[in-house]
A and B are shown apart, each in its own frame.
Chain A
């Protein structure tokens, strides 16, 4: 059995920042990462980040991952293990993991759950044909593994993931035939939409997929227009010859471990699904478990990094190892988060976060 002061689950933007913040306190930190490489989604983000300098704005995602990993590698009290999937949380405080195929038990004093999110799927005729992918999967194939997954692609979803992956498909030389978006407005940043449009890619709002066709794998995708009750309108069908359909219809927080640990959970559509109740320090209903990043509610990587720092600081405080300036640092995190969430997309997220907020325990001290 491994004993550690802090277990951080997930080495994406939130987990890495949590480990950096908690690692600075001198406590033993163990980060377990399911993938064979750390960095989470950052390693495939070839675009420049939004936000401000504090969240590495105008730096490309994979460069941000390197910056965070350099900080971690300089800390002898932080240990990161890849190919390590946390399997379960038990109510006596024990956690188990599959580490390179071996079973391991872990007894941490505190936990930061930064497990990220899962791509949502959509049920439509032909959705199980080879060639129908989550957009994030296509991004991983292209940008992380250097595999060209498509020749002719249709994108479903004009949120930031749909728009960014469409642009990156174009950069890889793929013909992007159309971006369909169920709602009447483009959900992602309009600058991303404009980048695609001026490359000649149509963005079709109030459209969705009717069906995907193919014998062995995807050969054609039929889109159709939606009425204001989200019902397909017969006669509006458009069919594209395509070998790839990317589904980018949102993410769900990966919260199974929090359920198992016994955290109080709530379904919040604006945050992508079931999320744990948490206070302003990102502490869940269980005093030793903290949450950060998409597992706390689906947002951008910029806010995931700030949440990670906040959760790491809160965990250090819980372990009686708070830095002298913890109050200023936490307030700085809170004001960065407030700024990141104050824009057009942030309003809905802020309203969702308010539902899941534990109000009575605003201060840990």
Chain B
């Protein structure tokens, strides 16, 4: 499922693909935007009104496939890189996919690359037909690749280098894992904090006074949220009911000399 894996399902893709009749007429935009998020540049990018204006900025884009001529103006404007242009009329047995591609090196026109599906798996060969990288594209180059027609709904990416060094991660033996560090400034780990809680130090200020928790350079920004979580579990109370301790001046280390030498002229020039 998309929300668990990040991979759109075939039904998601088929739902946003134009009809076979429309595909037979020439290039057309396909937008893989399946979640309501506040974003509308696609609709304002289209000069033909083929992406319907949004009532709400969270609307999903609706492409009027009859108005769309596959010009690809919207492709590099989509912050989610969710748009490609598909041309099923490119050749007898090949479809042309125009994809946004933000990686270096860009492929060379005429070169062969490995076509990848939406999980990044190799599914075939593709020929790089065109590479566009004009200033108007603002660093989102467009790469047109030709793929076998029956892969037009499968391919969504490609790989320039032939890096197939897939590695199987091994299980690491030995559980000599140390107690997690909580406060690096004062060298307090989770066992130290839990011991203090068991001894009856059950507020941030108490733990701070006995251990110097939060009194180092980070001034508690890293450790205090962690210890609040531990206290919450130990006391069975939500964090909202716990006192986060007193925030005293100053919020970062400052030398006594700087204060002593105060002359009111730090900002004069």
Contacts and interface: CB of A to CB of B under 8 A. Distances in A.
Interface of A: 1-2, 47-53, 57-58, 60, 81, 85-90, 96-105, 118, 120-128, 158, 170-171, 177, 184-186, 189-201, 203, 205, 210-211, 213, 220, 222, 237-241, 252, 254, 256-257, 259-260, 266-269, 273-274, 302, 339-346
Instruction: Choose among A49, A58, A158, A196 the residue with the greatest number of B CB atoms under 10 Å from its CB.
Output: A58
A194 B2 CA distance: 8
19 contacts: A1-B264, A48-B78, A87-B250, A98-B250, A104-B262, A121-B222, A128-B181, A128-B184, A186-B3, A186-B4, A189-B35, A191-B33, A191-B78, A193-B2, A195-B80, A195-B81, A220-B172, A222-B172, A269-B239
B10 interface: no
For this complex, into which size category does the number of interface residues on chain B fall?
A: 35 or more
Interface in B175-205: 175, 177-182, 184, 190
A17 B258 CA distance: 31
B162 interface: no
Interface of B: 2-8, 32-41, 44-45, 56-58, 77-82, 102-104, 116-121, 138-140, 156-157, 169-172, 175, 177-182, 184, 190, 219, 221-223, 225-226, 239-240, 244, 246-252, 254, 258-259, 261-262, 264-267
Contact of A50 (B38, B119, B246): B38
A98 B252 contact: yes
Contact of B57 (A97, A99, A121, A339): A339
A46 to B, nearest CB: 8
Dominant SS at the A interface? mixed
B180 A123 contact: yes
A125 B178 contact: yes
B79 A49 contact: yes
Contacts of A267: 239-240, 244
B7 A194 contact: yes
Contacts of B45: 58
A210 B171 CA distance: 12
A2 B73 CA distance: 51
Nearest to A106: B267
A146 to B, nearest CB: 14
A127 B157 contact: no
Given A252-B221, A252-B225, A340-B57, A198 B36 contact: no
B4 A198 contact: no
Given A99-B267, A194-B118, A199-B120, A239 B247 contact: no
Contacts of A86: 251
Nearest to B155: A198
A213 B239 contact: no
B120 A60 contact: no
Contacts of A252: 221, 225
B264 to A, nearest CB: 6
B171 to A, nearest CB: 6
Most buried by B among A47, A191, A259: A191
Given A53-B41, A194-B82, 19 more contacts: A2-B267, A60-B139, A87-B250, A98-B252, A121-B225, A123-B190, A126-B180, A171-B102, A184-B4, A193-B6, A194-B8, A194-B32, A197-B118, A203-B5, A211-B175, A222-B172, A259-B246, A260-B247, A342-B56
Most chain A C-beta atoms within 10 Å of own C-beta, residue among B6, B81, B177, B180: B6
Q: Which 5 A-B pairs have the closest CB atoms?
A: A200-B120, A191-B80, A88-B249, A193-B6, A125-B177
Given A124-B180, A191-B82, A185 B4 contact: yes
A189 B79 CA distance: 11
B266 A58 contact: no
Given A50-B39, A104-B266, A274 B244 contact: yes
A186 B2 CA distance: 9
Contact of B267 (A60, A81, A211): A81
